[in-house]
Amino acid sequence: ASLEAACYPLYFGWFLRHSFRDELEGLAKDLLKTLDSLEAFKKHLSDFTAEGEGAVNLEEYFQHEGPVHCTTKFCDYGNADGAKEYAESQVVQQRLGSVTELQLQALFVTPRTLGARVALTPEQLQLWPTDGDGGVGSALPPGSRAHITLGCAQGVEPVQTGLDLLQILQLQQQGQEGVHVEDLELGPLSYYGNGIWVLSLREPRVGPALFSCFHG
């Protein structure tokens, strides 16, 4: 194998343009501030705090490092299942370096992660790996897991954000739509139990992102 072929990235994904990233981080910050001040959130505070702790600062609770992006394929430098096939596929090679418009449809907060749900277009779905949504047995449509990690609680790995989103979608699929808590400026806020909060964006946000890869 050539040297080039042996150089697989940590992951492929869509990387948000700075302006779009700033907009999204602003939305997330607003949501956290609102949650912090909501009586309904305070009622369920124990999901986020150790026993006896009276308050939590959500803006400090969630930390994020690295580029803000939506992972398509986690390659782990070629060690992940299907990584090489994905990296070498024609559609990936063709689209590297191209800009697309990503659509965000919801923000979610759990005791573990802060994320945004991404709605993929059919064209974007061509870059979505076949094993991208929880593997065989997943009843969710392709692209369900598409998301952007905006923050993780201490000791939580970013991979958790996608798992949290899948859990929310599974609850919805079982008919558990969550309890409507309040209509915020950005849209309706629902509580799904166990510290899971979902804000559906009344007007989905759309912004530019570059399809590329990250080597770490």
The residues assigned a catalytic role are 69, 147
| Least distance CB 74 / ligand A2P (angstroms) | 3
How near is the Cβ of 5 to ligand A2P at its closest, in Å?
21
Nearer to ligand A2P, 8 or 74 (CB): 74
Residue 122: is it exposed, middle or buried by C-beta count within 10 angstroms (0-12/13-18/19+)? exposed
Q: Work out how close the CB of 118 gets to ligand A2P at its nearest, in angstroms, rounded to a whole number.
A: 10
Q: Using the minimum distance from each CB to ligand A2P, give the nearer residue, 79 or 176.
A: 79
Residues that bind ligand A2P (CB under 6 A): 10-11, 71, 74, 149, 157-159, 161-162
Nearer to ligand A2P, 25 or 36 (CB): 25
3-state secondary structure string across the chain:
CCCCCCCCCCEEEEEECHHHHHHHHHHHHHHHHHHHHCHHHHHCHHHCCCCCCCCCCHHHHCECCCCCEEEEEECHHHCCCCHHHHHHCHHHHHHCCCEEEEEEEEEEECCCEEEEEEECCHHHHCCCCCCCCCCCCCCCCCCCCCEEEEEECCCCCCHHHHHHHHHHHHHHHCCCCCEEEEEECCEEEEECCCCCEEEEEEEEEEEEEEEEEECC
CB of 52 to ligand A2P, least distance (A): 31
- 152 versus 181: smaller Cβ distance to ligand A2P: 152
